[in-house]
Homo-oligomer: A and B are copies of this chain.
Amino acid sequence: MAHDEAASGKKFAFVLLAFQVVFIVLFGVFAEYHWDAKPQSHRPADANGLVKGVRQADAAKSDAPYNPDYAMKDFYPMFQDVHVMMFIGFGYLMTFLRKYGYSSLGINFLLAAFVIQWATLMRGFLHMHDGKFMIDLTTLLTADFGAAAILITFGAVLGKLSPLQYLIMALIEVSVLEVNEWVGVKIFKTLDVGGSIFVHVFGAYFGLACSRVLSRWEYSANGFNTLKYTTKTTDLFSMVGTIFLWMFWPSFNSVMAPAELQQRAVINTYFALASCCVATFICSFLFHHGKISMEMVQNATLAGGVAIGSTADMVVNPYGALIIGFGAGVLSCVGIRFINGILESKLKVHDTCGVNNLHGMPGILAALISAVVCATASESVYGSSYYKVFPSLEKTEENENPRTPLLQAAWQLSALGMTLGVALLSGALTGSVLRLKIFDPLPGPAMFDDEAYFAM
């Protein structure tokens, strides 16, 4: 056994090395700095001699002269908030397992560092110009967004895979994820500023499908039940993750919004999270014999950020944000208290961190809300920002048949359907692949235990 572990660890090292070398080669062949990170003289100028800044979307409609650190001022602080969410937020959130803290943090760290490279490449391949793709601060941001989906999936299968399985899972998932999002954004023209559909729904249901297929191991629930007990210390560490995610979620939901709409996205997310936190405590007292459940506080308080994600930059109004957040908190607590057990016992889906409750159902809710908000969008409410929020409704040269609000709503629902379908299917297939012996499936007794892969 010990020998197998050593051999499996070394094999993993060589696979990882191979991928890293391939990444370096692919970056060498295809990646270059974006104009904004290049010398100013190397940037293309328009007819007026203005050199464009980093934000392609905005720049196209802007008459502002070139501003060399436009991107840094606009994006950098929010980018760092998102970065903290990925590495501290997700990393510590998952340290609640009594004997799996090293793995939660360590594998989270490794997967994220691996994925931000691979997501940069995949996304780059989908946005090539003249055989190259360009890297700027928004590239790093979208790479972090890609990592978010993988870390959500990681939460569903936490404790049940070997490092090699985690890695292959991440590799496949990023590829499918980026294509799904590309189709959703370019073809479906889906509005999803905070990635609730393309990141949260995708990551959660990919992970659940994957976990279901791998559930032949009956060790899952049993192993988990003896090892899942948290300690006070692990709960306090886990709260570090929760609170950083909660605080910085407004950055996650607003950073990709057009500059003019960012503040509204911040306000909406702030209030949605506030009422979601209150809703969680209410449900916790009601569902837990008048006591507070740390599991709910650690997870359900965040559901409001997911549920408002697709509409964060729209005019849902502060009271609307409060209602959305409240609903998400209740939904998430219902999931933890009632649905989780059904998933496990009836459908044999074991969900270690409860990602269905935190990311899955609130993500679906976000998509439904976005359909309602799109369907009821009116120019009188949005005024001059109408077409900035809903670009697909504007008649332009590239968009000769503008959509009606109702049609946009239908496309939002279609994007949800596509994402659910693709995530479940590709997750299940990935799970089947991971069962292959070649990927060193984790032996049952080694689950939920750092000792399998960490020098203690």
Contacts and interface: CB of A to CB of B under 8 A. Distances in A.
A38 B38 CA distance: 35
Interface string A236-271: 110110011011100100000001101110110011
Given A39-B383, A80-B251, A117 B10 contact: no
A382 B39 contact: yes
Contact of A240 (B240, B271, B283, B384): B240
Given A236-B101, A263-B136, A267-B135, A297 B5 contact: no
Nearest to A75: B263
Interface string A260-292: 101110110011011101110111011011111
A23 interface: yes
A436 B50 CA distance: 66
Interface stretch (A65-73, A151-159, A215-223): A65-73
Contacts of A385: 39-41
A235 interface: yes
Contacts of A288: 9, 455
Contacts of A286: 10, 13
A197 interface: no
Interface stretch (A199-207, A318-326, A362-370, A405-413): A318-326
Given A5-B290, A291-B455, A297 B136 contact: no
A414 interface: no
Interface stretch (A81-89, A171-179, A340-348): A81-89
B17 A282 contact: yes
Interface stretch (A29-37, A184-192, A393-401, A415-423): A29-37
Contacts of A109: 243, 277, 297, 301
A117 B274 contact: yes
A270 B142 CA distance: 13
A182 interface: no
Contacts of A317: 27-28, 31-33
A116 interface: yes
A171 B254 CA distance: 30
Contact of A24 (B105, B259, B322): B322
B9 A290 contact: yes
Could you say how many copies of this chain the assembly holds?
3
A167 to B, nearest CB: 10
A270 B31 CA distance: 15
A289 B383 contact: no
Contacts of A301: 109, 113
Contacts of A6: 289-291
Given A69-B263, A259-B69, A292 B106 contact: yes
B260 A68 contact: yes
B264 A140 contact: no
A239 B42 CA distance: 41
Most B Cβ at <10 Å: residue of A92, A105, A116, A273? A105
Interface of A: 5-10, 12-13, 16-17, 20, 23-25, 27-28, 31-33, 36-42, 54, 68-69, 71-74, 76-78, 80-81, 83-84, 87-88, 91-92, 95, 101-102, 105-106, 109-110, 113-114, 116-117, 135-137, 139-140, 232-233, 235-237, 239-240, 243-244, 246-248, 251, 259-260, 262-264, 266-267, 270-271, 273-275, 277-279, 281-283, 285-286, 288-294, 297, 301, 315, 317-319, 322-323, 326, 382-386, 453-455
- Interface pairs A-B: 9 shortest CB-CB: A9-B290, A39-B383, A41-B384, A113-B277, A6-B290, A41-B383, A28-B319, A13-B285, A39-B385
Given A92-B240, A101-B235, 12 more contacts: A5-B290, A13-B281, A33-B264, A33-B267, A33-B317, A80-B248, A87-B243, A101-B232, A117-B275, A291-B455, A292-B454, A293-B455
12 contacts: A8-B290, A16-B281, A20-B278, A20-B326, A38-B264, A39-B386, A92-B240, A102-B292, A117-B271, A140-B270, A289-B455, A292-B454
